[in-house]
């Protein structure tokens, strides 16, 4: 049950930038790296194991070889690997979009819905995102504003700063604005319905498709709730988000930090700043900013030593 380091799948969406290469050390030939899928078994982009005896295997192949026990007891309620974790570099605005809940997605898309959370790793001065509506609207108004390209007028615009956390429940209309780098922890889904895309064109000059009818079916039209705050666990640990699909903690390591692992869930460790060594069962792993590690479920503990910030996710 040794931790393994992962390398991501990459996406070169038109709104992406270069910070995942220059600031997070991602090795990719794409001109733009919009997303790196750091923990993923999704068919649209899998992470790959790069350490240990299973080096070179896709994460799903590693899990199959090791047995589902590595996921832990809490993962048994999911029919497939429960979460997907990404770095996202938004050099330009993302489309205004919404994700369906489980019931709608399973019926219409053949996969789970998408509730997600964002942890702001960096942002330019004045950067903002859209999170729900600034007032309650009707289904008909939503449809009309999509048709008339006035949807931005009723969206809840929130200026952001480094360290902010946003919990985006399925059905919440949202968009990441330009100049923001985030770590996103989400359900294992790639279903997105666009409702507005700034009339942008792809590399072939074609308008990117919108998904208006489906978006109207799944969206929540109430005023955006106050964004949930983080919860302090200890002086060096915070809970950033907790829901039925995932729990996300942030740990600040200044010296040594022991992390308890149990049989209930695996742990995903993402290093967001600094450097550290990970010790497990007498073995040592060097970690730097941008690295992703999968720790199987087992009764015991690991230790991080160094100066770093780590985002730790589990179910």
Residues 124, 148, single domain; the answer is yes
3-state secondary structure of 140: helix
**107/32 same-domain check:** yes
Asked if residue 255 is part of any domain, the answer here is yes
Same domain (yes/no): 263, 179: no
Domain count, the chain: 2
CATH number, position 44: 2.60.120.10
Nearest by Cα to 39 from 265, 299, 279: 265
Is residue 260 domain-resident? yes
Residues 207 and 250 in one domain: no
Of 191, 243, 237, which is closest to residue 217 (Cα–Cα)?
191
Is the residue at 263 inside a domain?
Answer: yes
DSSP state of 134: S
**Rounded CA gap, 94 and 207, in Å?**
14
One domain, residues 303 and 174: no
Same-domain pairing of 188 and 46: yes
HSE, CB side, 13 Å, CA atoms: give it for residue 296.
18
Domain final residue pick, 218, 241, 268 = 218
Give strand pairing partners of 207: 201
Residues 206, 302 share a domain: no
Residues 240, 197 share a domain: no
Q: Tell me what pLDDT residue 201 has.
A: 82
Backbone angles phi, psi at 79, to 5 degrees: -80, -15
Q: What would the 3-class secondary structure string for 86-110 be?
A: EEEEECCCCCEEECCCHHHHHHHCC
Query: Which distant-in-sequence residues (6+ apart) come within 8 Å of 294 by Cβ?
Result: 3, 4, 6, 39, 49, 59, 62, 266, 267, 268
Q: Do residues 255 and 171 both lie within one domain?
A: no
- Identify the helix (H) or strand (E) that includes residue 261: strand 247-261
Per-chain mean pLDDT for the chain: 95
Tokens for 39? Answer: 């923990």
pLDDT at 228: 65
pTM of the model: 0.96
Indicate whether 114 belongs to any domain. Answer: yes
- Whether residue 226 is contained in a domain is answered as no
Of 218, 243, 259, which closes a domain?
Answer: 218
Q: What pLDDT does 134 receive?
A: 97
Do 195 and 252 lie in a common domain?
no
pLDDT per residue of the chain (315 residues) written in tens, 0 to 9: 799 999 999 999 999 999 999 999 999 999 999 999 999 999 999 999 999 999 999 999 999 999 999 999 999 999 889 999 999 999 999 999 999 999 999 999 999 999 999 999 999 999 999 999 999 999 999 999 999 999 999 999 999 999 999 999 999 999 999 999 999 999 999 999 999 999 888 778 888 889 999 999 999 999 998 776 688 888 899 999 999 999 999 999 999 999 999 999 999 999 999 999 999 988 999 999 999 999 999 989 999 999 999 999 999
Same domain, 31 and 81: yes
Range of the domain at 27: 4-218
Residue 225 covered by a domain: no
Q: CA 218 to CA 209: how far, in whole Å?
A: 17
Residues with catalytic roles: 194
Burial class of residue 76, CB neighbours in 10 A (0-12, 13-18, 19+)? exposed
List the structure tokens of 40: 């993923």
At 177, list the tokens.
Answer: 């604005």
Question: 224 lies in a domain?
Answer: no
Measure CA of the first residue to CA of the last residue in the chain; give whole Å: 18
pLDDT at residue 207, rounded to an integer = 83
**Shared-domain flag, residues 52 and 199:** yes
Q: Quick one: pLDDT at residue 146?
A: 95
**192 is a domain residue:** yes
Q: Which of 218, 239, 269 is a domain's end point?
A: 218
Q: Where are the alpha helices (DSSP H) in the chain?
A: 19-22, 59-66, 102-108, 139-148, 212-218
Kindly state the percentage of the chain with pLDDT values over 90: 91
């Amino acid at each position: 049950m040794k931790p393994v380091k992962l390398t991501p799948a990459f996406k070169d969406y038109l709104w992406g930038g270069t910070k995942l290469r220059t600031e997070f050390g991602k090795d990719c030939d794409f001109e733009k790296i919009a997303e790196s899928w750091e923990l993923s078994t999704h068919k649209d982009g899998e992470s790959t194991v790069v350490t240990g005896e299973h080096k070179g295997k896709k994460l799903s192949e590693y899990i199959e070889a090791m047995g589902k026990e590595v996921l832990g007891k809490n993962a048994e309620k999911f029919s497939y690997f429960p979460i997907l974790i990404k770095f996202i570099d938004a050099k330009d605005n993302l489309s205004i979009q919404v994700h369906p809940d489980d019931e709608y997605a399973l019926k219409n898309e053949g996969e789970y819905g998408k509730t997600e959370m964002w942890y702001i790793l960096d942002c330019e001065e004045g950067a903002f995102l859209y999170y729900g509506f600034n007032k309650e609207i009707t289904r008909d108004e939503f449809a009309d504003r999509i048709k008339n390209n006035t949807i931005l007028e009723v969206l809840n615009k929130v200026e952001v700063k480094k360290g902010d956390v946003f919990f985006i429940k399925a059905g919440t209309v949202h968009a990441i604005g330009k100049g923001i780098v985030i770590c996103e922890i989400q359900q294992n889904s790639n279903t997105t319905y666009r409702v507005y895309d700034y009339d942008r064109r792809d590399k072939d000059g074609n308008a990117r498709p919108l998904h208006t009818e489906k978006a109207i079916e799944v969206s929540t039209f109430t005023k955006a709730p106050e964004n949930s705050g983080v919860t302090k666990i200890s002086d060096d640990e915070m809970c950033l988000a907790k829901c039925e699909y995932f729990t996300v903690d942030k740990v600040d390591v200044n010296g040594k930090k022991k992390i308890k692992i149990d049989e209930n869930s695996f742990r995903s460790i993402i290093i967001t700043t600094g450097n550290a060594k990970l010790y497990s069962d007498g073995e040592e792993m060097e970690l730097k900013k941008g690295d992703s590690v999968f720790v199987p479920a087992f009764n015991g503990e690991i230790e991080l030593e160094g100066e770093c910030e780590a985002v730790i996710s589990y179910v």
